[in-house]
Structure 1
């Protein structure tokens, strides 16, 4: 995460407006004067010293932990199991170093107390990545993964997840398939391949090959996300392969 060193070192300003920019500014100890705040709130961009890829990486990182904070607080309090799931996400899934974990924790804490809603963070994220549907789905997958980490998704969390699905323009059927990866509603292997159990062998093969191409870690890395998030792409890539092997064995393909 090249952008993180620049931010922590205080050598740049922020080029992000809206709730994501506000949380980032508070988390990293940077302030805006009123003129800059008004400019950014109208969608303006200030020179920051960040490349366009670094700005996208920063948006993804801050949005992810801001939305996770709002999810954790959805039922009125943040439980130990929720904190543990966030820590696991940071260390095992993202392999964040000390600076990365500290930054994620700061963002999480700032977002917990932010007056902005979950929807406000989700909407700003969507506006940045709306032309990259795989990144949108990737974020939805992250939200489900952490929400279900304690073995269940609460009713309050489900409300926010459904809201994210609407904001991200994810169709209801696709939403249910993502959910099925973490909550037993349909055969998980078929859900991973985005097919139902009535699909033909050829339809399954076609979907498998398409997903393998789209979720290859090198393909995700080329999207400009922080390198730590490519670990999730690796998990997803393996999940797709395992689902295909399971269905092949089941059907004798």
Structure 2
């Protein structure tokens, strides 16, 4: 259709050369529309409704950034691996994920997201490595750290983070190319022990006061919420919580060490 239309328009402007150029350009557009398939075209003058994330697993061939819609499905997908890691599906963990999306995007959009997710898992087997590889190539490191914090929050929704859940999150962290020190730092935010504050700041107990102060300054730069101003409000709130944990860890060491 576009090939013929392009040829006509081209001929009216540049005669025969224009017709050839118009036909070539129109043919290219026709091929693009054909590749989109019936669901992305129009029917009866109306665009058919599709879930906002139905092409998530094809994003590796598109663009250079992951859209907010992609993040929504990716978060649910990775959350599902964590929730199922210990062999039991916790209702409180499921509720946490749903509540997170409802608060962040509204009930209607959240329901659409979960509906699309259910359709995806029925049609194909999800691979955490494949999801993470796509995210790793198209997201900032700070964003991936926040995703890790979110997954720990999901695991902790039932009051405890199991060993199986930790192992799954560590596996995901590896796929996302997150440094081990950063993984241990975020993990320590969910486990209370005498060394938690040190692990959060990524220093050992033998560190000097000067080293602790330096580590705190570095963590502030790494975890400051301003690093995620380009992301959804829900992500920014999570970044604030993570940043607060860093501040609390530093204040704890200040009191213990008296500086």
Conserved? CA contact 1:27–1:103, under 8 Å: no
Q: 2:220 aligns with which of 209, 212, 215?
A: 212
TM-score, normalized by length of structure 2? 0.68
Output the CA distance in 1 between the equivalents of 2:131 and 2:113: 15
Contact 2:53 2:70 in 1 (8 A): no
Alignment of structure 1 residues 38-117 onto 2, 5 Å: 40=58, 43-45=60-62, 55-90=66-101, 95-110=104-119, 113=122, 114-117=124-127
* Residues in 1 aligned to 2:52 and 2:224: alpha-carbon distance in whole angstroms: 36
CA distance in 1 between partners of 2:54 and 2:250 (Å): 50
Higher Cα Rg, which structure:
2
Contact map agreement 1:65 1:107 (CA 8 A) in 2? no
- Alignment partner of 1:182 out of 180, 190, 200: 190
Q: Secondary structure at the match of 1:115?
A: coil
The answer for unaligned runs of 5 or more in structure 1 is 1-12, 14-25, 47-51
Shift of 1:107: 4.9
> Separation in 1 of the partners of 2:189 and 2:168?
18
- Distance of 2:119 and 2:83 partners within structure 1: 13
Matches within 5 A, 1:130-209: 132-184=140-192, 187-209=195-217
Secondary structure of the residue that 2:202 maps to in structure 1?
coil
SS of equivalent to 1:148: helix
Query: For residues 198 and 106 of structure 1, do their structure 2 counterparts lie closer, same or farther at Cα, with a shift above 3 Å needed?
Result: farther
Cα distance in 2 for residues equivalent to 1:252 and 1:123: 45
Alignment: residue pair count: 210
Cα RMSD (Å): 3.1
Indicate the structure with greater helix content.
Answer: 2
Distance 1:126 1:29, change over 3 A: closer
1:30 to 1:126, Cα distance in 2 relative to 1, 3 A: closer
On the 8 A contact 1:180/1:186 being kept in 2, the answer is: no
Which stretch shows the higher mean deviation, 115-124 or 239-248?
115-124
Q: 5+ unaligned residues in a row in structure 2: which ranges?
A: 1-32, 34-48
- Return closer, same or farther for 1:106/1:198 CA change in 2, 3 Å cut-off: farther
Task: Report if the CA contact (8 A) 1:59-1:125 is conserved.
Answer: no
